[in-house]
């Protein structure tokens, strides 16, 4: 999809779902842990899905690791809990595999093999190999064989397999070896006005422009609509979050960004994953584009008790 007309139209508030042939799909990034750091159960995920569908209509989520070891004392087998839940609630899930090193990828693949069966494969929308691996310094040449191996290993069960990275790693050519390989069938582009320290008044313009740069670069290599591309992450922290440069945390700004940025992208046919579904008070701080740390515990569209912070409709 070309976004060349998206930015100016969005900024003049002339967006309308009636002006395009297909509206984008809204999904949510979903954590694997309860507020007490312990792993979610099938029942927990089912409650998550009920809240998401009931308040947004969304029926697709994405995860980040197969074996979530972010809290070493409570390692989570994510597919073992989430796959029965997506089947029970008729959701779709994009399963992420860590792949910054060969050892990490091999471990993730081994953990996924017994869980990804023909029973659950129809509910797995895609597999992503690596999450912002290029942004963290992994080369495309090192990541590509892992994507290729995943395609060989799981391709008969899941047709969409690729990677997800920051918009600038696609726009600046860091991912070109992956794009020219013909291997990925699915890509996700992360873009945040917040993590670039933009004031809320500039956030939508930054977000849409970043998406345009990344997707335009991808399509120069693979062709227009030749590969499925999603916005893998975008969002804004609510009340209790930290500021980042000129980006001010707060639920009012989060609502503003959702209504102006996320809704604009959706109206123009861009599939968007909102980061994230629910607040996660247990999480450590994250590092943005300038190298400064920021809070990631209040990024949810919902509170930890699954209450929406504002109407999640466009």
User: What residues act catalytically?
Assistant: 132, 233
What's the burial of 12, exposed, middle or buried (CB within 10 Å: 0-12/13-18/19+)? exposed
Strand partners, 63: none
Sign of the Cα pseudo-torsion (300, 306, 307, 310, in order): positive
Distance CA 77, CA 162 (A): 21
Coil vs helix vs strand at 286: strand
Contact criterion met (CB below 8 Å) for 106 and 65: no
How far apart CA 283 and CA 285 sit, in angstroms, is: 7
Please name the residue ranges forming H helices in the chain.
6-11, 42-56, 78-89, 102-112, 140-154, 167-171, 176-179, 200-222, 251-257, 263-267
Q: CB neighbours of 114 closer than 8 A, spacing ≥ 6?
A: none
Distant-in-sequence, close-in-space partners of 198: CB < 8 Å, separation ≥ 6? 206, 245, 246, 247
**Contact between 37 and 75 (Cβ < 8 Å):** no
Residues 6+ away with beta carbon under 8 Å from 175: 134, 140, 163, 165, 169, 218
- The token pair that represents 67 in the structure block: 């074996």
Q: What is the DSSP string of 114-129?
A: TT--TTTGGGEEEEEE
């Amino acid at each position: 999809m070309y976004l060349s007309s998206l930015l100016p139209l969005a900024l003049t508030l002339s967006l309308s779902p009636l002006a395009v042939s297909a509206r984008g799909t809204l999904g949510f990034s979903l954590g694997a842990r309860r507020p007490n750091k312990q792993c979610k159960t099938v029942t927990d995920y089912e409650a998550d899905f009920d809240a998401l569908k009931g308040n947004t209509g969304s029926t697709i989520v994405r995860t980040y690791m197969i074996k979530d070891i972010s809290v070493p004392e409570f390692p989570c087998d994510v597919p073992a809990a989430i796959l029965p839940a997506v089947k029970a609630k008729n959701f779709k899930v994009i399963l992420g595999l860590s792949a910054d090193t060969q050892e990490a990828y091999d471990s993730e693949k081994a953990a996924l093999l017994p869980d990804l069966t023909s029973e659950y494969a129809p509910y797995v929308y895609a597999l992503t190999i690596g999450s912002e691996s290029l942004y963290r310094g992994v080369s495309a040449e090192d990541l590509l064989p892992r994507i290729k191996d995943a395609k060989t290993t799981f391709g008969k069960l899941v047709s969409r397999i690729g990677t997800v990275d920051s918009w600038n790693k696609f726009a600046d050519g860091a991912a070109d070896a992956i794009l020219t390989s013909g291997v990925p069938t699915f890509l996700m582009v992360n873009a945040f006005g917040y993590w670039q320290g933009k004031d809320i008044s500039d956030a939508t313009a930054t977000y849409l422009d970043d998406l345009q740069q990344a997707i335009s670069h991808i399509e120069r290599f693979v062709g227009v609509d030749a590969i499925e591309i999603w916005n893998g992450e975008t969002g804004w922290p609510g009340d209790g979050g930290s500021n980042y440069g000129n980006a001010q945390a707060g639920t009012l700004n989060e609502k503003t960004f959702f209504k102006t940025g996320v809704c604009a992208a959706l109206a123009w046919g861009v599939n968007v994953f909102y980061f994230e579904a629910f607040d996660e008070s247990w999480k450590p701080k994250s590092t943005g584009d300038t190298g400064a740390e920021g809070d990631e515990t209040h990024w949810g569209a919902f509170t930890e008790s699954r209450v929406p912070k504002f109407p999640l409709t466009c």
